[in-house]
Amino acid sequence: MKSSLYHRLQPFARIVAVTACLWTAISVLGALQTYSDNLRAGVDSHYPALLATWFVEYAVPLIVLSIVLSSALTRWPTLIARPRNVVALFAVLVLLFQPAQWTWMAWQRGLLQIASVQDAWQLLLKMLLVGWFSTTGTFAAILAFFYFRQARERELAWQRSQTDMLNLRLALEEQRMLALRAQLEPHFLFNALNAISALVRGGDRPLALHGINLLSDLLRYVLSASAGTTTTVAAELRFVQDYLDLQRLRYGDRLRMHVDGADALLQEVPCPPLLLQPLVENALRHELDCTEGASDIRLAFIREKDVLLVRVTNPVGQDAPPNPGAGLGLANTQDRLRLMHSEASLSAGRQGERFVAEIRLPLASAD
């Protein structure tokens, strides 16, 4: 209960303290200016008395105005949401506060001895120009402060909404990446198990056991790579070579792949996990599974300015479809590249008598 009351009174106490300090400082400067003017004019005066007059006559009414108006706008910020509301507030200032301020100042100066209507009229004419500048200036300054604070709060709210939106988008993209990877890893596992099952059906149990050991090593890499969002092209190349060792247990000497351009640069180029395996597995499936001869799969790494090209090609027959094998593996690879970097891409299609899958990886982050 006490804590809640404290939090409610804290903004009001801050307004009172700031307003009192501000107008006290203005009174000190105003009294000093009056004292200086009196000295130059040869008028005897006392600075403490001038300070008291300045504070009581000018500062006290404006402190009250500042506190009341600031408290009202803090509690009801919609009071200045529309121009007509501001006009209404200014009308209250003119019709209520200004006469009250004149009466206060006239009482402090001993001018309220009114014997006739003429005396009242003369007093009104005398006070008509008193306090207008300071009162309207205070009113305008308070409104400007609250307009600025509202604009600042809207800007901060907009920034928070943008940050929340970006965080949400990032979370969605990460979930999408995980979903794509969850689709891809069973796909890889299914093809690896197919290679081992072919050995089991062939009755070669020692070779099948060796294949299981190779698969265990591959799965160990998949699990470690899946813990992060990126790996390196060099690590992916080693994984593909191990994957091909497993597939050779099934295809034998028919499985042949030539690698060109593998150098130290590949250690520095980031890429999504399981980037190369779908491309190589796609080449295997649409060459060795469709022909009886040896494969002619080529994997090349080519640097072009600030881009690394990763190109996987394999022969296609004359009766093959225009885009053979562009299925789940390649589609997922393309989506994961786009999520990793906006300039990374995958293109795949038939070029003459070969099917070409080409990845473009920016090198800016690797230099």
Share of the chain above pLDDT 90, in %: 8
Same domain, 53 and 83: yes
**Token reading at 69:** 């108006």
| Residue (of 253, 292, 279) closest to 334 by Cα position | 279
Which domain, by its residues, includes 114? 2-161
How are strands ordered across the β-sheet holding 297-304? 257-260, 297-304, 307-315, 354-362, 345-351
Please report whether residue 285 resides in a domain. Answer: yes
Please report whether residue 185 resides in a domain. Answer: yes
Confidence of residue 119 (pLDDT cuts 50, 70, 90): low
Same domain, 116 and 194: no
Last residue of a domain, one of 111, 140, 161: 161
DSSP 129-147: TTTHHHHHHHHHHHHHHHH
Same domain, 24 and 56: yes
Confidence of residue 300 (pLDDT cuts 50, 70, 90): very high
pLDDT tens digits for range 47-83: 888 888 777 877 788 888 888 888 888 888 888 878 8
Same domain, 292 and 151: no
> CA 160, CA 195: separation in Å to the nearest integer?
52
pLDDT of residue 180: 46
Handedness of CA 73, 76, 78, 84 (dihedral sign): negative
198 burial (CB, 10 Å; 0-12 / 13-18 / 19+) is: middle
Same domain, 110 and 157: yes
DSSP state of 97: I
Last residue of a domain, one of 105, 127, 161: 161
Share of the chain above pLDDT 70, in %: 78
Angstrom distances, CA of residue 294 to CA of 253, 256, 302, 312, 352:
7, 7, 25, 16, 20
Same domain, 137 and 187: no
Please report whether residue 46 resides in a domain. Answer: yes
Please report whether residue 367 resides in a domain. Answer: no
Q: Which strand (E) or helix (H) includes residue 270?
A: strand 270-271
Q: Which strand (E) or helix (H) includes residue 272?
A: none
User: Which range scores top for mean pLDDT: 127-141, 293-307, 308-322?
Assistant: 293-307
CA atoms within 13 A on the CB side of 355: 26
- Check which CATH number belongs to the domain holding 214 and give it: 3.30.565.10
pLDDT of residue 323: 46
Same domain, 127 and 238: no
The residues, any chain, with a CB within 8 Å of residue 208's CB and separated by 6 or more, are 196, 199, 200, 249
* Cross-strand pairs, 257: 297
> CA 96, CA 193: separation in Å to the nearest integer?
89
> CA 212, CA 235: separation in Å to the nearest integer?
21
> CA 295, CA 255: separation in Å to the nearest integer?
5
Number of domains in the chain: 2
Helices and strands (DSSP H and E) totals, the chain: 11, 7
Last residue of a domain, one of 104, 129, 161: 161
Please report whether residue 326 resides in a domain. Answer: yes
Same domain, 230 and 358: yes
pLDDT of residue 100: 80
The residues, any chain, with a CB within 8 Å of residue 221's CB and separated by 6 or more, are 235, 239, 242
Please report whether residue 98 resides in a domain. Answer: yes
Q: What is the largest CA-CA distance in the chain?
A: 128
| Section 126-150 average pLDDT | 76
pLDDT tens digits for range 200-246: 776 667 777 787 888 788 778 877 776 777 888 999 999 899 888 88
Same domain, 76 and 94: yes
CA atoms within 13 A on the CB side of 248: 12
42: left (phi over 0), alpha (psi -120 to 50) or beta: left
pLDDT tens digits for range 309-366: 999 998 886 665 554 444 556 777 787 788 778 888 888 888 888 889 999 998 865 4
Same domain, 6 and 117: yes
Please report whether residue 273 resides in a domain. Answer: yes
- Residue 315's φ and ψ, nearest 5 degrees, are -70, 150
Please report whether residue 89 resides in a domain. Answer: yes
Same domain, 154 and 202: no
Same domain, 284 and 247: yes
| Section 117-134 average pLDDT | 69
